[in-house]
Amino acid sequence: MTSRPVAPALLAPLLGVALGALPSPGAPLDAQYRPVPGQVARFLDGDSLLLAVAVDLDKAPFVVVEASLLAFLGRSGSGTVFARFFHYREPRPVVSERFAAAPEFVAIHVDRNERGDGTRIFGQKVTPLASDDLVVSDPLLLDPGIAALPETRQEALDGMLPRLRIGSESEMAAYWEVYGLEAGATMEISVALEREKAGVLTRMVRSLRGRQVPSAPVVSWTETASGPVHGMALALGVAELTDGNYDLKIAVAGPDGSVAAAVRRFSVRRR
């Protein structure tokens, strides 16, 4: 699905909220249904923020016919509402949009199911990315079934995992971007997996761009920036991880000593 710049004011969706046709940001998820799994990722796109959302609508307790991406802008979510409508054709639609400023809240709303009903089934708060010279995007978790690690952002979005949970998979993959370095600049990257409240770092890297990397609590290496937007992909072996919550931690140090970091939390549930 293609993205387009967001207009500063979209009258129809705003009127929709006023008339009760669209839910407000504070509206809770429908009490009848459990929220479906989803993943939200933020990327810088020039002076804009590219926001990508993937949800597993197959987990909804009904057949989804039409759905929409809702973004609530402005202070306390009281500003303009952006709505992107789409027909449900795939188990995990990935919807992305560019925003001049980060919305406060993003949601997936089912406009029509097989019974004609509508309800919100996914929602998450959004914060702006750091505005420093050196910035790291959200690590994006990828479908473990992808044939190869992505080489572009679009390839990564196409393989965006609609849930932040590892089940029977023995491997997962991640993609992220580094911003703010000139082409040829040397950076040091550190990657770690940390179990929540365990106090011990565990890190099992199966491959890094085709190279074998030994297991270690923290893996660090140097890399040359390809330009002000430097994409990176990594495959991680997770077969030995026990059930629990984990943080995938990315840290990048620039040649001037500046450091940027990002974290992606996911869970492991083997049963």
What is the pLDDT at residue 25? 57
Backbone angles phi, psi at 236, to 5 degrees: -125, 130
**Tens digit of each residue's pLDDT (9 = 90 or more) over 229-268:** 999 998 887 777 788 888 999 999 999 999 999 999 998 8
Closest to 55 measured CA to CA, from 83, 95, 3, 82 = 95
What is the pLDDT at residue 81? 74
Query: DSSP string spanning 207-253?
Result: EBTTB-----SEEEEEEE--SSEEEEEEEEE-TTPPSEEEEEEEEEE
Question: For the chain, what is the mean pLDDT?
Answer: 77
| Confidence (pTM) | 0.79
Delineate the domains of the chain, giving CATH numbers in brackets.
Answer: 11-125 (2.60.40), 135-268 (2.60.40.3880)
Q: Are 71 and 95 in contact (CB under 8 A)?
A: no
Q: Which two tokens stand for residue 158?
A: 């196409």
3-state secondary structure of 179: strand
* List of the chain residues with pLDDT < 50: 1-21, 28, 31, 77, 198-216
Q: Which two tokens stand for residue 7?
A: 């207009």
